[in-house]
């Protein structure tokens, strides 16, 4: 049995997810999982950077990179201690880092994650693999999403076409055809929790809408929803990816145009935006999906889940728990798996998902010595 650790901080930027994963022949098993909250000052700094209104010096940028690296290493060390293992028993750490800007379009595509991997490797004493997205971008891809390759490894079924819907800050889908000669499809569909989180923080000073109760108390503003759905991103065909550098409070403010809508009605509309963009994304691919598997933090949002069930009345819709994997830790597990692929020099992107010219080996290796 071989152990790997996956570290992930997603678009919500509220915690470092750490997953201890074991590999035994072809079986992938989660051994332990924990979440390390980002300190409030780091969350505030990241939020200000994403807003585009916060000038940051090279010194502050470098310090933030190291501070996140220290936090990631602490998350890994705590996981190892809790599991009763020694660092020498861990083959490698796969660290996604914290994305602060994702720009795969334009004349000079790039993606930028912080969380210095040299700091992680030194403080844990474990080989660390990071910078998974850049090689895909170098090959002409979007650099995201990368998790569909892991979804294929653990969720593909020979009898039923399945859709994996990840409800993080940004929503992305993976379509897994039962027929192995058909390509896997995956792309970002737009915001999941990101805009709802920003809106409730502004109005109720709550970090997220627990169970979607605030959204449930409001009514969908149809004209606002139609305006949001007309955004160019939703009209683009895949491959495509996005992040909070695009879907943020500035985007929402442009949509509102100083209209004095009831805040709870705006929240209800944002929830429906997530539902509708996922529905459109799955239906436009024209693959007859029978099962929809939910993961990510939004899988705990009762109102969002009910909205998706209403949007897909003829499909089986269940959380990934029902398939043996905690919905909160799938992305962290994916980066443990990606680290294993890197050590084996196995390509781990899916060109039909990212748009890359070819499958390439992902990730750079950092060692303490």
| Model confidence pLDDT, tens digit, residues 195-233 | 999 999 999 999 999 999 999 999 999 999 999 999 999
CB atoms within 10 A of CB 87: 15
Distant-in-sequence, close-in-space partners of 341: CB < 8 Å, separation ≥ 6: 347, 348, 361, 362, 363
As separate numbers, helices (DSSP H) first and strands (DSSP E) second, the chain gives 14, 12
In this predicted structure, what is the pLDDT of residue 121?
Answer: 98
User: Considering its fold, how many domains does the chain have in total?
Assistant: 2
**Which pLDDT score, from 0 to 100, does residue 286 have?**
84
Confidence of residue 65 (pLDDT cuts 50, 70, 90): very high
What's residue 45's pLDDT? 87
The continuous run of DSSP H or E covering 82 comes out as: helix 58-83
Tell me if 150 sits within 8 A of 337, measured CB to CB. Answer: yes
Task: List, for residues 278-288, the tens digit of each pLDDT value.
Answer: 999 999 988 99
- Average pLDDT of 19-32? 92
What is the tens place of the pLDDT at every residue in 310-360? Answer: 999 999 999 999 999 999 999 999 999 999 999 999 999 999 999 999 999
Per the model's pLDDT, the better-predicted residue between 55 and 74 turns out to be 74
Tokens 């795969």: give the residue.
104
pLDDT for the residue numbered 12 = 76
Distance CA 111, CA 126 (A): 25
Cα 100 to the center of its chain, rounded Å: 13
Do 293 and 344 share a structural domain? no
Query: Can you give the pLDDT at residue 27?
Result: 86
Can you read off the two tokens belonging to residue 319? 């959380």
Which has the minimum average pLDDT: 141-145, 223-227, 243-247?
Answer: 243-247
Query: Whole-angstrom Cα distance, residue 77 to residue 51?
Result: 32
CA distance linking residue 213 with residue 222, whole number of Å: 20
Q: Do both 319 and 185 map to the same domain?
A: yes
Provide CB contacts within 8 A for 331, sequence distance 6+. Answer: 6, 8, 10, 17, 96, 147, 166, 168, 295, 296
Are 354 and 263 within one domain? Answer: no
Q: What is the pLDDT of residue 102?
A: 92
pLDDT value at residue 266: 98
**Coil, strand, or helix at residue 261?**
coil
Q: Please give the pLDDT value at position 177.
A: 97
pTM of the model: 0.94
| Whether 9 and 157 share a structural domain | no
Q: What pLDDT is stored for residue 25 in this prediction?
A: 77
Residue 331's closest CA among 116, 102, 99? Answer: 99
Are residues 319 and 255 part of one domain?
Answer: yes
- Among 97-106, 144-153, 288-297, where is mean pLDDT lowest? 97-106
Asked whether residue 140 falls in the same domain as residue 154, the answer is no
The pLDDT value given to residue 56? 83
Residue with the two structure tokens 């971008």: 137
Region 142-155 average pLDDT: 95
The secondary structure element, H or E, covering residue 357 is none
Per-residue model confidence as pLDDT tens digits over 255-281: 999 899 999 999 999 999 999 999 999
How does residue 57 score in pLDDT terms, banded at 50, 70 and 90?
confident
Q: How many CA atoms lie less than 13 Å away from 61 in the CB half-sphere?
A: 11
b/e sequence 145-181, b meaning 16+ C-beta within 10 Å: bbbbbbbbebbbeeeebbbbbbbbbbbbbbbbbeeee
CATH code, 68: 3.30.420.40
In the block, residue with structure tokens 């293992």 = 85
44-54 tens-digit pLDDT: 888 888 776 66
How far apart (Å, rounded) are the C-alpha atoms in residues 99 and 117? 14
Q: Which two tokens stand for residue 105?
A: 């379009």
87 dihedral zone (left: phi>0; alpha: psi -120 to 50; beta): alpha
Tens digit of each residue's pLDDT (9 = 90 or more) over 294-322: 999 999 999 999 999 999 999 999 999 99
User: CB under 8 Å to 61, separation ≥6 — which residues?
Assistant: none
Say if residue 358 is exposed, middle or buried (CB neighbours under 10 Å; 0-12, 13-18, 19+). Answer: exposed
The verdict on 212 and 73 lying in the same domain is no
pLDDT at 47: 80
Radius of gyration, CA atoms only, the chain: 20
- My answer on whether 160 and 218 are in the same domain is yes
Q: What is the pLDDT of residues 73-130, one digit of tens each?
A: 999 999 999 999 999 999 999 999 999 989 998 899 999 999 999 999 999 999 999 9
pLDDT at 55: 75
- How far is it, in rounded angstroms, from Cα 246 to Cα 357? 25
Residue ranges making up the domain that contains 251: 147-323
> Do 9 and 128 fall within a single domain?
yes
55 with 183, same domain: the answer is no
Element (H, E) at 32: strand 27-37
In terms of domains, do 51 and 134 share one?
yes
349 and 335 fall within a common domain:
yes
Helix axes 330-343, 147-155, angle to 10 degrees: 100
């Amino acid at each position: 049995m071989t152990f790997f650790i996956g570290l992930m901080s997603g678009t919500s930027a509220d915690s470092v997810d750490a997953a201890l994963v074991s590999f035994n022949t072809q079986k992938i098993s989660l051994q332990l999982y924990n979440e390390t909250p980002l300190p409030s000052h780091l969350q505030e700094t990241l939020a200000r950077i994403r807003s585009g209104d916060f000038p940051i010096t090279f010194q502050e940028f470098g310090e933030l990179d190291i501070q996140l690296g220290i936090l990631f290493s602490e998350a890994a060390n705590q996981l190892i201690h809790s599991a009763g293992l020694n660092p020498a028993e861990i083959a490698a750490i796969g660290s996604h880092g914290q994305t602060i800007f994702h720009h795969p379009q334009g004349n000079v595509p790039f993606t930028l994650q912080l969380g210095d991997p040299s700091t992680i490797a030194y403080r844990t004493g474990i080989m660390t693999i990071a910078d998974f997205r850049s090689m895909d971008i170098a090959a002409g891809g979007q650099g995201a999403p990368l998790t569909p390759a892991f979804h294929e490894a653990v969720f593909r079924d020979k009898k039923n076409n399945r859709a994996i819907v990840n409800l993080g800050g940004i929503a992305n889908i993976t379509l897994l055809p039962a027929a192995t000669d058909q390509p896997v499809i995956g792309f970002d569909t737009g915001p999941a929790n990101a805009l709802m989180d920003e809106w409730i923080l502004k109005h109720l000073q709550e970090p997220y809408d627990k169970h979607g109760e605030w959204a449930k108390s409001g009514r969908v503003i149809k004209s606002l929803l139609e305006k949001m759905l007309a955004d160019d991103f939703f009209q683009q065909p895949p491959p495509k990816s996005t992040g909070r550098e695009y879907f943020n409070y500035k985007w929402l403010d442009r949509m509102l145009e100083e209209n004095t809508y009831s805040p709870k009605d705006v929240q209800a509309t944002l929830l429906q935006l997530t539902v509708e963009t996922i529905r459109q994304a799955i239906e436009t691919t024209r693959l007859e999906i029978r099962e929809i598997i939910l993961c990510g933090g939004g899988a705990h949002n009762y109102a969002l889940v009910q909205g998706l069930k209403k949007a897909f009345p003829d499909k089986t819709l269940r959380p990934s728990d029902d398939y043996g994997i905690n919905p909160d830790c799938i992305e962290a597990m994916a980066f443990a798996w990606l680290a294993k692929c890197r050590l084996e020099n196995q390509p781990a992107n899916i060109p039909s998902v990212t748009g890359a010219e070819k499958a390439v080996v992902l990730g750079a290796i950092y060692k303490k010595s």
